[in-house]
Structure 1
Amino acid sequence: MTSKNLLIISNDFPNADNKYVREIFVKEQVTVLKEHFENIYVVSPVAFGMELLRHTRHENYEFDNVHVYFPKYLNCPLFFKYGRDLWIHFEEKTIKKLIEDKNLHFDLIHAHFTWRAGTVAIKLKEKYDVPVVITEHTSRTFTHAVEKKESQFIRAWNLCDAIIRVRKGDISLFQNVGVPLNKVYYVPNGYSQKYFHALDSQSCRKKLGLPPDKKVILNVGSLYGEVKGHRYLIEAMSKITSKRKDIMCFIVGGGKLEKKLKKQVRSAGLEDCIKLVGSRPHTEIPLWMNACDVFVLPSLLESFGIVQIEAMSCGKPVVATYNGGSEEVLISENYGYLVEPANSKELAAKILVALDKEWDNEQIKKYAKNFKWDTVVGEILKVYKKVGV
Structure 2
Amino acid sequence: MRVQCSPALLGTTHFPSGAGERLRVLAVTRIFPNRVEPLSCPFQRRQLAALARLAEVEVLGVVPWVPGASLLGERARVGKLCRVPAEDTIDGLPVVHPRAPYLPLAGPWLSGVNGPLYLAGLVPHLAALRRRFDVVLGAFLFPDAWAAQHLARALGLPYAVKAHGTDVNVIARWPSVRALVQGTLRRAGVVIGVSRPMLGALEELGAPRDRVTLVPNGVDRALFQPRSRDEAREALGLDPRSKMLVYVGRLEAAKGLHELCDALVSLEARAPGRFTIALVGDGSLRKTLEEKRDAGLPLLVAGGRPAEEVARFLAASDALVLPSFHEGTPNVVLEALAAGRPVVATRVGGIPDVVAHERTGLLVPPRDAPALAAAIERATSHAWDEDELTRAAPPGWDRSAEALLAALVRARAVYA
Q: Distance in 2 between matches of 1:178 and 1:297?
A: 30
Instruction: Please state how far the C-alpha of 1:34 moved relative to its aligned partner.
Output: 0.8
Match of 2:284 among 256, 267, 291: 256
Residue 28 of structure 2 is matched in structure 1 by: 9
Deviation readout 1:126-170 (Å, 9 max, x if unpaired): 111211111111336545534747121111111211111223224
Change (3 A) 1:199 1:99: farther
Instruction: Please state how far the C-alpha of 1:85 moved relative to its aligned partner.
Output: 6.5
**Are the counterparts in 2 of residues 7 and 40 from structure 1 also a CA contact under 8 Å?**
yes
Q: Is 2:371 the partner of 1:346?
A: yes
Match of 1:233 among 254, 257, 260: 260
Instruction: Please state how far the C-alpha of 1:364 moved relative to its aligned partner.
Output: 0.9
Q: Is 2:153 the partner of 1:126?
A: yes
Residue 161 of structure 1 is matched in structure 2 by: 189
**Are the counterparts in 1 of residues 158 and 188 from structure 2 also a CA contact under 8 Å?**
yes
Change (3 A) 1:4 1:175: closer
**Are the counterparts in 1 of residues 142 and 167 from structure 2 also a CA contact under 8 Å?**
no
Change (3 A) 1:219 1:67: same
Match of 1:372 among 373, 386, 396: 396
Residue 382 of structure 2 is matched in structure 1 by: 357
Q: Is 2:330 the partner of 1:302?
A: no
Q: Is 2:354 the partner of 1:329?
A: yes
**Are the counterparts in 2 of residues 12 and 23 from structure 1 also a CA contact under 8 Å?**
yes
For residues 192-341 of structure 1, the aligned pairs below 5 Å read 192-224=220-252, 226-241=253-268, 242-243=270-271, 245-265=273-293, 269-270=296-297, 273-341=298-366
**Are the counterparts in 2 of residues 146 and 176 from structure 1 also a CA contact under 8 Å?**
no
Question: What do you get for the CA RMSD once the two structures are aligned?
Answer: 2.7
The one-letter code matched in structure 2 to 1:340 is P
Q: Residue 36 of structure 1 aligns to a residue in which SS? A: coil
Instruction: Please state how far the C-alpha of 1:308 moved relative to its aligned partner.
Output: 1.2
Instruction: Please state how far the C-alpha of 1:99 moved relative to its aligned partner.
Output: 4.5
Q: Is 2:46 the partner of 1:28?
A: yes
**Are the counterparts in 2 of residues 19 and 281 from structure 1 also a CA contact under 8 Å?**
no
Instruction: Please state how far the C-alpha of 1:266 moved relative to its aligned partner.
Output: 5.3
Q: Is 2:64 the partner of 1:47?
A: yes
Change (3 A) 1:220 1:131: same
Match of 1:113 among 140, 151, 172: 140
**Are the counterparts in 2 of residues 197 and 313 from structure 1 also a CA contact under 8 Å?**
yes
**Are the counterparts in 1 of residues 185 and 208 from structure 2 also a CA contact under 8 Å?**
no
Unaligned 5+ runs, structure 1: none
Change (3 A) 1:261 1:135: same
Q: Distance in 2 between matches of 1:123 and 1:335?
A: 43
Match of 2:218 among 190, 212, 226: 190
Q: Residue 302 of structure 2 aligns to a residue in which SS? A: strand
Deviation readout 1:274-332 (Å, 9 max, x if unpaired): 22222223332111111111111111221112111111111111111112221111124
Higher relative contact order (CA closer than 8 Å, sequence separation 6+): 2
Instruction: Please state how far the C-alpha of 1:103 moved relative to its aligned partner.
Output: 6.3
**Are the counterparts in 2 of residues 19 and 282 from structure 1 also a CA contact under 8 Å?**
no
Q: Residue 251 of structure 1 aligns to a residue in which SS? A: strand
**Are the counterparts in 2 of residues 5 and 105 from structure 1 also a CA contact under 8 Å?**
yes
Residue 70 of structure 1 is matched in structure 2 by: 97
Change (3 A) 1:83 1:143: closer
Deviation readout 1:30-51 (Å, 9 max, x if unpaired): 12101111x2110012133288
Instruction: Please state how far the C-alpha of 1:264 moved relative to its aligned partner.
Output: 4.2
Q: Distance in 2 between matches of 1:252 and 1:227?
A: 16
Instruction: Please state how far the C-alpha of 1:84 moved relative to its aligned partner.
Output: 5.7
Instruction: Please state how far the C-alpha of 1:19 moved relative to its aligned partner.
Output: 4.8
Change (3 A) 1:384 1:354: same
Instruction: Please state how far the C-alpha of 1:93 moved relative to its aligned partner.
Output: 4.0
**Are the counterparts in 2 of residues 11 and 116 from structure 1 also a CA contact under 8 Å?**
no
Instruction: Please state how far the C-alpha of 1:65 moved relative to its aligned partner.
Output: 5.5
Instruction: Please state how far the C-alpha of 1:366 moved relative to its aligned partner.
Output: 2.0
Deviates more, 1:182-191 or 1:229-238: 182-191
Q: Distance in 1 between matches of 2:347 and 2:230?
A: 31
Q: Distance in 1 between matches of 2:282 and 2:383?
A: 32
Change (3 A) 1:176 1:40: closer
Instruction: Please state how far the C-alpha of 1:79 moved relative to its aligned partner.
Output: 6.5
Aligned residues: 382
The one-letter code matched in structure 1 to 2:27 is I
Q: Residue 387 of structure 1 aligns to a residue in which SS? A: helix
**Are the counterparts in 1 of residues 58 and 95 from structure 2 also a CA contact under 8 Å?**
yes
Q: Distance in 2 between matches of 1:234 and 1:78?
A: 27
Instruction: Please state how far the C-alpha of 1:78 moved relative to its aligned partner.
Output: 6.7
Unaligned 5+ runs, structure 2: 1-19
Change (3 A) 1:58 1:282: farther
Q: Distance in 2 between matches of 1:363 and 1:78?
A: 44
Change (3 A) 1:157 1:284: same
Match of 1:139 among 161, 166, 180: 166
Deviates more, 1:98-107 or 1:290-299: 98-107
Deviation readout 1:65-118 (Å, 9 max, x if unpaired): 521111224444276778767643443343343242476711111111111110
